[in-house]
Amino acid sequence: MLENLKKEAFETNLAIVQHKLVVLTWGNASAIDRASGVMAIKPSGVAYDTLTWQDMVLVDLEGKVIDSKLKPSSDTLTHLEIYKGFVEVGGIVHTHSPWATSWAQAGKSIPVLGTTHADHFSGDVPCLPPLTLGQVEEGYEKLTGSTLVDHFLSNQINPLHIPACLLSGHASFVWGKSTAKALENAIALESCAQMAYHTLMLNPAANFPDYILNKHFTRKHGKDAYYGQKG
């Protein structure tokens, strides 16, 4: 079972490269097995073109390495905080993809400006402010994750309705019920970030009605969804 978890994480890590969300080693993906309390994640700094599924590092929910001589990603504790905070999440993707990262570096949330965004995200994708100096010194990666979770909980944002977050000056974390869904959401985020930028260049006053946003999101998500095929 844990071999399959490694393979799942490995395939997602390869996919984020194939979809041009990652260059060099600027990203990582993870998968979790809730029953065993084990996460598989990319090893730190290992080039994607040499990566094998056996290289994936298994860690417990406290970040202790279970079976590898390789160090896990430096973002391991962030992933774990997201998994612990959002119990329905089964996969996480973190990349420094150009368009989403541009919004993060500008310290701006990605606004919902049309139906393409609304099909995947039920509102703006938030951008959180940088951690304080004290937080960075206390535990940068762990507090990055816990601050993200706290923002969603305190603002009553459903993490499955807006399954992504930007970190000011950094990049994005994206998640889903499965690794496949996390990958899909990461691809959607990058495309929406690009379109939002161009939209605002063409019309800085662009906006989008909430009633159309709600219609497009609910026709694809939730109990009354009717998009796609059944069975």
Q: Which residue ranges form the domains of the chain, and what is each CATH number?
A: 2-220 (3.40.225.10)
The reply to whether 49 belongs to the active site is no
| Active-site choice (60, 67, 210, 227) | 227
**Per-residue confidence (pLDDT) for residue 223, from 0 to 100:** 81
Mean pLDDT score, 19-32? 93
Rounded to the nearest 10 degrees, how much is the dihedral formed by the CA atoms of 89, 194, 150, 15? 30
Mean pLDDT score, 29-44? 95
Mean pLDDT score, 143-160? 97
Tell me the percentage of the chain whose pLDDT exceeds 90: 88
Residue with tokens 């994936």: 56
Residue 129: half-sphere exposure toward Cβ, Cα within 13 Å: 4
Pairing of strands 172-176, 91-95: antiparallel
What's the whole-number average pLDDT of the chain? 95
**Eight-class DSSP state of 86:** -
**Per-residue confidence (pLDDT) for residue 200, from 0 to 100:** 98
The reply to whether 119 belongs to the active site is yes
Asked if residue 107 lies in contact with residue 127, where contact means CB atoms within 8 angstroms, the answer is: yes
Predicted confidence (pLDDT) per residue in 96-114, tens digit: 999 999 999 999 999 999 9
| Residue 50 CB coordination number (10 Å) | 7
**Per-residue confidence (pLDDT) for residue 90, from 0 to 100:** 97
Kindly indicate the confidence band of residue 8, based on its pLDDT and cuts at 50, 70 and 90.
very high
Instruction: Tell me if the pTM is above 0.85.
Output: yes
| Active-site choice (119, 124, 150, 197) | 119
Two structure tokens written together for 13: 């890590």
Residue 231 scores a pLDDT above 70 = no
Predicted confidence (pLDDT) per residue in 112-128, tens digit: 999 999 999 999 999 99
Residue 61 scores a pLDDT above 90 = yes
Kindly indicate the confidence band of residue 225, based on its pLDDT and cuts at 50, 70 and 90.
confident
Among 126, 129, 127, 117, smallest CA distance to 207 is for 117
Residue 163 scores a pLDDT above 70 = yes
